[in-house]
Every structure is written in C-alpha cells, then in structure tokens.
Structure 1
Amino acid sequence: CIKFDRRVTGAMKHIFGRKLLAKTVDAASQYSSSHNFDAITLDGDLCSRKGALSGGYIDVTKSRLRTFSDLNVAKTKLSELENQQRDLQRKGNAADQSVQSLMGEMQRLEAKRANLIPKIEETEDKIERHSSTIKSHEKQCESLKEDIPVVKNECNGIDAQTVALEEEIGTPLSSTLSAEEQAQLQSMNKELKILGKKMEAHNVLLEEASVEKHRMQSLLSDNLLKRKSELERKQVSMGRLSRSGAESNAAASRHRDLALLKSELEEAERLADGEEEKLTDAKQLDASYRADLVKAKANLDELKTNDLADRKALDEFSDGSERLLNKRSMCVSKREMYTRKIQQLGSLPPASELKEFSNLSIQALMRSLDDCNKRLKKYSHVNKKAYDQYVSFSEQREQLLGRKKELDVGGKKIGLLIESLDEKKDEAINRTFRGVSKHFTDVFNELVPNGSGELLMRTAHPSAENTGSGKGSQQDANSPHVSLYRGVEVKVRFSAVGENYMMSQLSGGQKALVAMGLIFAIQRCDPAPFYLFDELDQALDSSHRASVANLIQRQASSEENPTQFIVSTFRPELVKVANRCYGISHQNKVSSIHHLGKKDAMHFIANLMNEEEAVGDVTKLRTSVASTKRKASRHEADDVSED
C-alpha cells in the first residue's frame, strides 16, 4: 500500500507495522479493539489497541503555491501604490510652496491689525469703567430710595406704640378680667398669630422678589450688556476689516446675531420691569401688614397687664392646692401603715366566723383581742404565714406540672419531626445519588461509545463500624443507611473488552474525561442556566473532543432543559458546533474581544495547530539527532574497548 525507499525499511516497519488503515475514527476504534491492532485514519488520528486515541488536524485549504501567487500580486500592487505616492508627494510640495506665500501675506496683515487692536481695546476699557461706576452709583441711590418707606413705616409704628403707652399710663389698673375681655384676649392672640404668619409669608415673597430682581439686574449688567458691548466692538472691528464679499456675508450674519441678542435683551428688560412691579406691590402689602402688626402689639401689651393680675390669683389658688395635697399625702401614709398592720395579722378568718363578733362593742372586741394575743404568745416560734405560703406553693406546683406536660408533648412532636426530616434527607440523598449515577453511566457511554462507567457509593458495614476497623465494602445504594456512607468511587472502562479502572489508575486526559462526565451528569440531574469551561478539551484527543462537542451541542439545543455553554478552546471540534465565536487579542496591556465568523475561527485554529506541529517536529528532530550521536559515541567506545 505504501511505497518507500528500502533504506528506511526498519523505520517504516517500526511506524506502520501491526497497524490498520481506516476511513473514520469509529471504524479505527472498532477494529483496534476487536483484532488487537493499532489503527490509523486518513486524517492522522491514531487508535491504540489499549484504548488510547491521538492525532491532529490538517487544514486542506492551505497551499504554498496559492500563497506564492498571492505574494506576486501583492508585490505588483505595492509598486503601483509607491508610484502613486511619489506623484502625490510632488503635488503636495507645490501646494506647500503656494501656502507658504499666502501665509506670509496673512502675517503682514495680522501685524497691522495687531497694532490697531490694543489702542481700540484700551479706549473701550476706559468707557466701560466709567459706565460701570455710574451704574453702581445709580444702584446705590435706588437701594437707598427703596429703604426710605420701610424706615418711615417703622417710625410710624414706634410713634403709634408710644402714643398707646402714654394713653395707658393714665388708665386705672384692673385686678381681674371679665369673660368678654378674656374672649377678646384669646381672639386677639389668634389674630396676632395669623397676622404674624401672613407677615412672614409676605416677607419671604418680598425676599424672593428682591433676589430675583437682583439676579435679573446682575444678568443684565454682567452678561447681556457686556455681550452687547462686545458684539458692538466686534461689529465695528469687522466693519473696519471687511473688504471682500465673504467678509460682508459674515458681517450680515453677525448683524443678525446682534439683532437676536437685542431682542433677548429687550425681553430680559421686560421681565425685570415686571419683577419690579411685583416688588412694589409686595412692599405695599408689607407696609399694610406692618401697620396691622403695630396695632396688634398694642392690644397685646394691654392684655399682658391683665394677665399679670390673673397670675397672682392663680398663685393664691396653687398655694391652697399644695396644702390640700400635703393633707392627702398624710392620709395615704396612714392608710399604708394600717394595711401593713393588717397584713402582719396573717390570713383573716372566713366571713361566717366574723359574724359572731359583728354585734360586739369595740371595748369587748379589744378585750377579746388582748386574750387572743396572750394565747398567741405561746406560739410565737411558729411562722404565721406558713398556710399562705403553702397555698401559693401548691398553686405554683400545679402550674409547673401542667407546663411540664405541655413541654413533654412538644418534645415528642419535635422528635417525630426530626425523624421525619432525617428520613426525607436520607431519601433525597439516595435519590440524588441514584439519579447522578444513572446520568453518569449514560453520559460516559456518549463520550466513550465502546466504554462504560459506573458511580458507586463506598459504605461501611455496621459490624465493622462497631469494631472500629473502618474497612469499606461496596453495596447497593438503597440498602444501607446514610450514616454508613464513606465516599464515592468511580469505575470506568475505555474499550468494549477489558477490566475496569479506578481513578488512581487513569492518565490525565482520562481523568479529565471522567470529570466532565460527572459534571454533565450533575447538570442533567440539577440543571443550571449556563456553564463556563476553560480549555476543557486541552488534554483530550480528537475523537473524545468530538464526543464532548456533540454532547454539548445536544445539551444546548435540548427542548426540556436548554443550557448555555461558554467555552474557551484552541481545538476545531468545539468551534464546528458553536453558535457564535469570539477572539481575544492582547495589545499594550489591554485585552479586547472581537466577533469572528466560523471560517475565520477555524482558520485561526488551523494556523495555531500548524505552528504547534512545526515546534513538535523540531523537537523530535533534535531528540533523534541527539540519540544518533549518543549511539555513535557508544559504538566508538565499544571499538576502543575491543582494541
């Protein structure tokens, strides 16, 4: 089947001896397990008779001849572009010379303009300073004029208050107030409070109006007028410098802007006039309310004098009430003393026995009481409150016994609840383990078609646990109790015929495959919305990578439990079944993400795998050269020893 030079017969036998050639990976794995031969596919995948798979990916779209032709086309395009660049460079140099001549002329004109601008600005600054000082003086005069009516109103209020006080001096003092006067006092106080609130509200409005007025004036003086003067200066300067048609159009546009700004200025002045009218109205209201406040203060002072007399009478009544309270406290203390004496007597006899003494006089009762006290002296060592304590303690005992019964019933119910929860927990653990074990077997069969895997629970026998030996035995997951579980054990087989292997006996790639099978089994038992994998196929061969990709594709497109998978990979199998592909680049310490088509992604992975294969070939060549050198040195040493 294969033609080769007879000088490399040994090497060809070593590589292709006891090996079968198959079309697909499935056929290669089937024949390698049934005939005990190593099988190799046309794509270069090797299926060992021991169950291992290895191989690589070949990009059939890549060709050196096509690359050479593309290189020649690119060189011709490069020469054409270089010629175009030289032509454009000559044109650019000519344009630069014309621009330099124009720039020199502009610099001369700018120098003339720069000499005239400082003189104009200096005169305009002087005019602005004088106008600003005049406006500040006018504002001060207006503020002083506005304060004059306020001061007059205050003087009028003070004069009215002095007149009221002088009239009050000649009136006789009254000791008490009548009911009508008290009602009038209350109504005046209410009216005074209402007027005070209204005055505060109008003061707030007045302050807001004054603030708005100052704001509008500051806006007018600081922004709009300055803007107007600046635009006028610009208009004058542009009128001086305008000589061409383009400059006339710019001046017309500036005239239009100036007209707009003038209209805005007129609108602002109109708003300021309206605010000033509101401010004058508010000041008139404030003056009227101040006059009402002065009258209310006069009435308040008159009522305060009447209130002083009422307070004196109230003090007299309070002194009498304190004397009565002292008497009451003395009576209360006596009552407490007598109740203590009654309590010291102990428990009282029933009402039937007290009827015998109800008809006796006080002297007879006192004599009988003395006789009883004399007889009681014999029993002075006996506790008089023993009966009362016995009754109270017996009641407490009954209450505690009832409480104990309730707690016993509650404890039994809690114990039953704990047992039921333990049973539910054990059932949930066993049910979850059975589900995961079943799904692990199914998933491993999908990942390794000719293999099998099972998930076992390691338990401890009750007799061994009691003796303390601690040796585990594999039993059914349904029969033992959860307390006997000692861990989970995995047994897998990667071929149809052969023995099962434990996790400790597997290679790195096989352990990764078992771990993925366990993850997908848990995912089927308890689905999650998405999974994130980082190079999960790094340690796998091509057939197992294809199995993992097909399993992820089926799970992602499942109708019952669809799941999203986000995977990073450098192999083509997962890229073939992916819905979207993204590439990550790293430049200048910054990572960025780029959306790639499937063809671009496959091309990128093919280039990467070719580079890896080239590095692997170089390393193999170096190792082969080193081995031949070592063999040659050994032969020379043997020849020397024979001589």
Structure 2
Amino acid sequence: MVERELEVNADNIKNTMLQQNILVEKLAEVLPEEASQSQLSQLLDQCQNRIKRLGAINLVAIEEYKQQQERKLFLDQQHEELIEALDSLEQAINKIDKETRARFKQTFDTVNQSLNDLFPKVFGGGRASLELTDDDMLSTGVTIMAQPPGKRNSSIHLLSGGEKALTAIALVFSIFQLNPSPFCMLDEVDAPLDDANVERYARLVKEMSAQVQFIYISHNKIAMEMATQLLGVTMQESGVSRLVTVDVEQAINMTEQTLSL
C-alpha cells in the first residue's frame, strides 16, 4: 500500500516537473537573457498585477464568443441579402421611373395635340396648349394656356367663367379621346355658357357622338335640340316624379306629317 502511494506521488512529481520545464522553456524564450533576480521579480509582479486587473475569468466566454460569432455571420448574410434586395428595388424603381417619364411625355403630347385641334372647334377659332411647369416629368405640373378669338394668350385662371368652362370641356374631350369609353356622361356642363357657346358645345358633342354615346343633363333648349333621344323628368303631382321619353327624329317626322296635311 505504501509502495503504491509512493509510486503515485512520484508520478505527480514527474508531471509537475515536466510542466515546469515546459513553462521554464517558454519563459526563457521571452525573458531577457541577462536579467537579474530583481528584474525578474519586478517582471513577475507586473504580470501578477495584470492578471489581477483582468478580474475573474468567465469560463463560458468561449462558448458565448462562438454564439456571437455565429450570430454575426448570420447578420452579415442578412445584410448582404438586404443590400442585394435594395439594389434590385433601386433598379426596378429606375426602370419604372423611366417608363413613367416616357409614357407621361407621350400622353402629354397626344392630349396637347388633341386640345389644339378641339379648342378652335369649341371657340370658333383661337388656340390652346398645355405647358409643363418643371423639367422633371415625375414632379411637374401642367398649366393650360388659352387664347380665345380676339384675346391675348393667358392662363386659364384669367379667363371668364364661360371661357373657363369651354376650355375645360375641350381639355376633358381631349383626354377622353386618348382612351375613349363606350359612353360619356356630362352633367350640366353647359350651364355657364351663353347660347352661342352652347351651340358650339352641342355641335362638338354631336360630332363626337359618332364614336361615343353621350348622356348629358341640360336645361338648355339648344343642347336639347342636338339630342336624338330626350328623357325628361316632370312632377305633375307634388313629390311624385314622372319620366317622359321623346324620340327627337320621330317627333320631327310626326310634326312634318302634321304640317303637310
């Protein structure tokens, strides 16, 4: 039993000496060759002070470092994917902006040309045009410049009420011609117009009715004369509305037949 204990102690001493020899060899590599004992003691004190300043050793620091490193790699990958997505979005936005500018310019030119053609028909002369307020197609506004017969070219804001209404009608019809629908409804747009302008407006509607069916509400007799079908709303009894339908062509034929008798 005693011999076994002695053997174990001997092995421990050998291991300790082996470790110390390794440490001595490593220290010998970094220590000055001609250092005195006092210098070595001073160096030892400095090392011990540094160790004390480090504080308690966090035994899970290595594991935490690995976890944080994995998280950093994940976030770096996410960052790269976001950068790629951002680049793709910027390219898509640039493409959309380019297409928007091209289509806006094409639409603007088409509507402007239609306005130049319709305005003289509505006013019996003169001219009108659209002008951009900014060079950037994505943020520009549009100004309507109009010159009725016998007047100076000016913004639509400086026109009279009737002139504004006619100019607006010409612009609406110009936009409508860009992509016409099967029918168009107009609600008392002739209300601010005098008889001469109502007649021009009615002629324009009559001309365009070859391609589009117009449904317009009006109290003006001149506008009613241009219609092919009249639908009137009367109130013979208080609070009770009644619809009256008139085929204008049929009514004219009946009138002519009556007069010929």
User: Which range, TM-score by smaller chain?
Assistant: 0.5 to 0.7
Matches within 5 A, 1:119-268: none
Matches within 5 A, 1:34-433: 381-433=56-108
> In 2, Cα distance between the equivalents of 1:539 and 1:487?
24
Residue 238 of structure 2 is aligned to residue 583 of structure 1: no
Cross-structure match for 1:539? 192
Q: CA deviation at 1:523?
A: 0.8
Matches within 5 A, 1:565-576: 565-576=214-225
Q: What SS does structure 1 have at the residue aligned with 2:57?
A: coil
Letter in 1 for 2:172: I
Letter in 2 for 1:437: N
Residue 165 of structure 2 is aligned to residue 512 of structure 1: yes
Q: CA deviation at 1:552?
A: 1.4
> In 1, Cα distance between the equivalents of 2:61 and 2:249?
103
Residue 404 to residue 593, structure 1, CA distance change in 2 (3 Å): same
Is the Cα contact below 8 Å between 1:456 and 1:488 reproduced in 2?
Answer: yes
Residue 392 to residue 564, structure 1, CA distance change in 2 (3 Å): same
Q: CA deviation at 1:503?
A: 2.4
Q: CA deviation at 1:517?
A: 0.8
> In 2, Cα distance between the equivalents of 1:453 and 1:601?
39
Q: CA deviation at 1:446?
A: 2.0
Aligned pair count? 203
* 1:367-415 deviations in Å (ceiling 9; x for gaps): 99xx99xx9xxxx943333333333333333232222222212211112
Greater fraction helix? 1
Cross-structure match for 2:127? 452
Cross-structure match for 1:488? 143
Q: What SS does structure 2 have at the residue aligned with 1:382?
A: coil
Q: CA deviation at 1:444?
A: 0.8
Is the Cα contact below 8 Å between 2:145 and 2:153 reproduced in 1?
Answer: no
Q: What SS does structure 2 have at the residue aligned with 1:538?
A: coil
Q: Which runs of 5+ in 1 are unaligned?
A: 1-363, 460-479, 603-643
Q: What SS does structure 1 have at the residue aligned with 2:163?
A: helix
Is the Cα contact below 8 Å between 1:533 and 1:568 reproduced in 2?
Answer: yes
> In 2, Cα distance between the equivalents of 1:403 and 1:506?
60
> In 2, Cα distance between the equivalents of 1:577 and 1:486?
36
Q: CA deviation at 1:572?
A: 4.1
Is the Cα contact below 8 Å between 1:509 and 1:540 reproduced in 2?
Answer: yes
Is the Cα contact below 8 Å between 2:133 and 2:140 reproduced in 1?
Answer: yes
Q: What TM-score do you get using the length of structure 1 for normalisation? A: 0.29
Is the Cα contact below 8 Å between 2:232 and 2:243 reproduced in 1?
Answer: yes
Q: What SS does structure 2 have at the residue aligned with 1:512?
A: helix
> In 2, Cα distance between the equivalents of 1:597 and 1:405?
72
Cross-structure match for 1:93? none
> In 2, Cα distance between the equivalents of 1:484 and 1:566?
35
* 1:516-562 deviations in Å (ceiling 9; x for gaps): 1111111112323332223333333444333322221222222xxxx
Q: Which runs of 5+ in 2 are unaligned?
A: 1-7, 20-54, 253-261
Is the Cα contact below 8 Å between 1:452 and 1:492 reproduced in 2?
Answer: yes
Cross-structure match for 2:248? 598
Q: CA deviation at 1:431?
A: 2.7
> In 2, Cα distance between the equivalents of 1:545 and 1:507?
15
Letter in 1 for 2:215: I
Cross-structure match for 1:282? none
Is the Cα contact below 8 Å between 1:491 and 1:503 reproduced in 2?
Answer: yes
Q: What SS does structure 2 have at the residue aligned with 1:390?
A: helix
Residue 584 to residue 414, structure 1, CA distance change in 2 (3 Å): same
Q: What TM-score do you get using the length of structure 2 for normalisation? A: 0.65
> In 1, Cα distance between the equivalents of 2:183 and 2:167?
20
Point out the structure with max Rg over C-alpha. 1
Q: CA deviation at 1:484?
A: 5.6
Is the Cα contact below 8 Å between 1:458 and 1:489 reproduced in 2?
Answer: no
Q: CA deviation at 1:487?
A: 4.3
Q: What SS does structure 2 have at the residue aligned with 1:482?
A: coil
> In 2, Cα distance between the equivalents of 1:486 and 1:591?
45
> In 1, Cα distance between the equivalents of 2:119 and 2:216?
20
Is the Cα contact below 8 Å between 2:101 and 2:138 reproduced in 1?
Answer: no
Letter in 1 for 2:66: V
Q: CA deviation at 1:600?
A: 9.1
Among the aligned pairs, what percent are the same residue? 23
Is the Cα contact below 8 Å between 1:575 and 1:601 reproduced in 2?
Answer: no
Letter in 1 for 2:229: R
Is the Cα contact below 8 Å between 1:529 and 1:564 reproduced in 2?
Answer: yes
Letter in 2 for 1:557: A
Is the Cα contact below 8 Å between 1:437 and 1:455 reproduced in 2?
Answer: yes
Greater fraction strand? 2
Q: What SS does structure 1 have at the residue aligned with 2:133?
A: strand
Q: CA deviation at 1:456?
A: 1.7
* 1:95-135 deviations in Å (ceiling 9; x for gaps): xxxxxxxxxxxxxxxxxxxxxxxxxxxxxxxxxxxxxxxxx
Is the Cα contact below 8 Å between 2:115 and 2:129 reproduced in 1?
Answer: yes
> In 2, Cα distance between the equivalents of 1:428 and 1:574?
36
> In 2, Cα distance between the equivalents of 1:456 and 1:599?
43
Residue 230 of structure 2 is aligned to residue 555 of structure 1: no
> In 1, Cα distance between the equivalents of 2:69 and 2:109?
60
> In 1, Cα distance between the equivalents of 2:139 and 2:247?
54
Is the Cα contact below 8 Å between 2:230 and 2:247 reproduced in 1?
Answer: yes
Residue 599 to residue 409, structure 1, CA distance change in 2 (3 Å): closer
Q: What SS does structure 2 have at the residue aligned with 1:485?
A: coil
Which runs of at least 4 in structure 1 moved beyond 4 Å after TM superposition? 599-602
Is the Cα contact below 8 Å between 1:531 and 1:565 reproduced in 2?
Answer: yes
> In 2, Cα distance between the equivalents of 1:385 and 1:512?
82
Cross-structure match for 2:256? none
> In 2, Cα distance between the equivalents of 1:453 and 1:594?
40
Match of 1:439 among 97, 111, 114: 114
Residue 534 to residue 411, structure 1, CA distance change in 2 (3 Å): closer
